[in-house]
Structure 1
C-alpha cells in the first residue's frame, strides 16, 4: 500500500501566510472596536398630551404649569382645540406663531380612527395642504390592512380629509413662553402644553387631547357603525 505524498513546501507556506493574515485582520478589527466605540442609543421621555387614564381636569392643570417661568426662550408646545378644525383655518387659530406639525384624527362616533401627524414647513401653503397630505398618509396604509372594518375606516378618513372636513384636534407649535401663555387664552384653544427648552424636534411623542375625549382619557370605543365614505 503506497503512502500519500507529503504536502509540498509552497502549499505549507501559503497556509501559514493565510493564517497569519487572518490573525492580523482579527487584531485590526479588535483594535478598531476600541478606537470607534458603539453609537449611543438616544432615549427620550418627552411627551406632549394627556396620559392614558388621566382625568381631563388634571391634564389641563398640568399643561398650564408648563407655561410658567421667567425664561422666555422658545419651546415646542402642543395646542389642543375645543373643536376639530379644518386645515383651512389652522393659521387663524394661532396667528403668526410657527406651526411645526398639523395633527389629524377623523372624528367618527364610537369608531377608533388613527392619529396622523403632518410635518409643516414654515409656509402657509404647506399648512393649507396638510389635510390632503394626511389623506395620502392614510392611503399609504391600505397595503397593511387585512380586515374589512379597518379598510372602510381608512376610506372614510381619506374621503373626509380630501374634502377639507374639520379633522384636526390640535397642532404642534414653537414660540416663546410669553406667546404660548397668550395663546392659551384665545377662544377655541382648550390647552397649551410646553416642553422643556432643551427638547429636540422629532424626539418627542405627541398625543393631543381630543375634543371628544372620554374623561378620564382612554382609548376611543370602536363598536359604532362606519358611515359611508
Structure 2
C-alpha cells in the first residue's frame, strides 16, 4: 500500500508540474523570429530588364512616405561620388566591389552616417578583407588585390542603401549616372531586409560572371 500511495503522489506532482509549464508557456510565449522576407535588389537569374521595370514600379513620385531604397549606378564610382550622386537622400550603406576583368571579387557592405564616414568607408572595406590576404590561394590573392585597391579609394562602389521620401527616391532615379532606384514599403525595418546590389556588368541577366582571369598583384 505505501508503494501505491507513493505512486499516486508522484503522478499528482507530475500533473501539477505539467499544468504549471502550460501556464508559464501561455503567459510567457516564445519570442517570434524576425521576419526577413523583404529584400532590395534583383533575384538570382532575373532578367535585368525585368528588375529595372520592377524597381521603377516600386517608386511613387507623389508620396512623402519615407522608405528604404537601393541605388544602382551606371558604373562603379568612388564613395564620395556616390554621395554626390545621391544628393540630399542620406546613405546608410555603401556596397563595394572591386572590378577585375574575368575575376569574381567579393562584395563588401559598409555602414555609413554622413560625409566623413562615407569618405572613410573604402578604408573600412579594405580592412575587412585584410584577414585573408595571407592565404596564397586564388581567393586570398583576390582579397589582397581588392583590399589594396579599396585602400587607394578606387571607383568601386556598385550600390548604396538609402532612406528618404518616395518622391525624392523617384527624383533620384532620374539623376544621370544612377541606373535604378528600388524602394521598399514604408513599414520595412532596417536590418530585417536583404540587399543584393545590381552590378554594372550585369546587363542581360543576374548571373555570375566568368572567374577564369589572371589575378593581378595590385
TM-score range, shorter chain: 0.7 to 0.9
Matching of residue 134 in structure 1 with residue 111 in structure 2? no
RMSD: 2.6
Taking structure 2 as the reference length, the TM-score comes to 0.87
Describe the shift of the 1:136–1:25 C-alpha distance in structure 2 as closer, same or farther (beyond 3 A): farther
Correspondence for 2:102: 110
Shift in Å, 1:90: 2.1
Q: Would you say the 8 A contact 2:89–2:169 is kept in 1? A: no
Q: Would you say the 8 A contact 1:88–1:164 is kept in 2? A: no
Q: Supply the distance in 2 between the matched residues of 1:90 and 1:154 (Cα, whole angstroms).
A: 23
Match of 1:211 among 192, 196, 200: 200
Segments of structure 2 that go 5 or more residues without pairing to the other structure are 1-9
Secondary structure, aligned partner of 1:47: strand
Correspondence for 1:182: 171
Q: Supply the distance in 1 between the matched residues of 2:192 and 2:216 (Cα, whole angstroms).
A: 36
Describe the shift of the 1:52–1:43 C-alpha distance in structure 2 as closer, same or farther (beyond 3 A): same
Q: Supply the distance in 1 between the matched residues of 2:163 and 2:181 (Cα, whole angstroms).
A: 11
Secondary structure, aligned partner of 2:197: coil
Correspondence for 1:7: none
Higher CA-based Rg: 1
Deviations along 1:99-155, one digit per CA (max 9) or x if unpaired, are: 11111011111111111111112x211111111111112224x29x97700100110
Match of 2:29 among 37, 59, 69: 37
Q: Would you say the 8 A contact 1:214–1:220 is kept in 2? A: no
Q: Supply the distance in 2 between the matched residues of 1:87 and 1:152 (Cα, whole angstroms).
A: 24
Q: Supply the distance in 2 between the matched residues of 1:26 and 1:222 (Cα, whole angstroms).
A: 59
Shift in Å, 1:25: 6.9
